[in-house]
């Protein structure tokens, strides 16, 4: 079991980290935490996968649509605000934080599905 004493980093911070929005000192602190903390590592991995997946989808459909860039941005924002709200509402535990991520992923998946369906329909 990990014995690190640092509090878990805020999920909005991980999102910024993945976006490359952080100063190098801040980034290094996060990377240090990642090395120590399995929970945050798992979260970051899932966030990264979701973002990769969305941007791949956006890229593959850019020739057909104008929206993807903005769409991806919106989903990310939605992920951030949704997770922030939850965090404020309850003094979150790592279990809850995992649950929130799952909810966010399901939400993102639904949007992507709806989006794909729209594309298919518009091509008929
Ligand atoms: Zn952590």
List, for residues 52-74, the tens digit of each pLDDT value: 888 888 887 766 655 566 777 78
Kindly give the distance from the C-alpha atom of residue 37 to the centroid of ligand 1, in angstroms, as a whole number: 5
Over the range 50-65, which residues count as b (16 or more CB within 10 Å of their CB) and which as e?
bbeebeebbeeeeeee
Kindly give the distance from the C-alpha atom of residue 101 to the centroid of ligand 1, in angstroms, as a whole number: 14
Asked if residues 8 and 37 have their Cβ atoms less than 8 Å apart, the reply is yes
Note the pLDDT of residue 23.
95
Note the pLDDT of residue 122.
77
Kindly give the distance from the C-alpha atom of residue 5 to the centroid of ligand 1, in angstroms, as a whole number: 9
Q: Which residues contact 6 (CB under 8 A, 6 or more apart)?
A: 33, 36, 37
Note the pLDDT of residue 67.
59
Kindly give the distance from the C-alpha atom of residue 15 to the centroid of ligand 1, in angstroms, as a whole number: 14
Q: Does 83 or 7 have the greater pLDDT score?
A: 7
Kindly give the distance from the C-alpha atom of residue 110 to the centroid of ligand 1, in angstroms, as a whole number: 28
Instruction: Kindly tell me the sign of the dihedral angle through the C-alpha atoms of 46, 41, 82, 77.
Output: negative
Kindly give the distance from the C-alpha atom of residue 2 to the centroid of ligand 1, in angstroms, as a whole number: 10
Q: Does 2 or 48 have the greater pLDDT score?
A: 48
Kindly give the distance from the C-alpha atom of residue 35 to the centroid of ligand 1, in angstroms, as a whole number: 9
Kindly give the distance from the C-alpha atom of residue 8 to the centroid of ligand 1, in angstroms, as a whole number: 4
Q: Rounded distance, CA 51 to CA 29, Å? A: 22
In this model, does residue 36 exceed pLDDT 70?
Answer: yes
> In residues, how long is the chain?
124
Give 22: exposed, middle or buried? Use CB within 10 Å, 0-12, 13-18, 19+. Answer: middle
């Amino acid at each position: 079991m990990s014995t690190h004493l640092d509090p878990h980093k805020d999920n909005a911070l991980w999102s910024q980290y993945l976006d490359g929005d952080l100063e190098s000192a801040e980034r290094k602190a996060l990377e240090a935490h990642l090395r120590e903390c399995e929970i945050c590592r798992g979260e970051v991995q899932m966030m990264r996968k979701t973002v990769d997946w969305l941007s791949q989808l956006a890229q593959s459909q850019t020739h057909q649509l104008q929206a993807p860039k903005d769409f991806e941005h919106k989903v990310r924002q939605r992920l951030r605000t949704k997770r922030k709200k939850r965090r404020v509402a309850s003094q979150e535990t790592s279990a809850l934080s995992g649950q929130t991520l799952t909810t966010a992923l399901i939400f993102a998946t639904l949007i992507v599905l709806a989006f794909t369906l729209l594309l298919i329909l518009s091509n008929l």
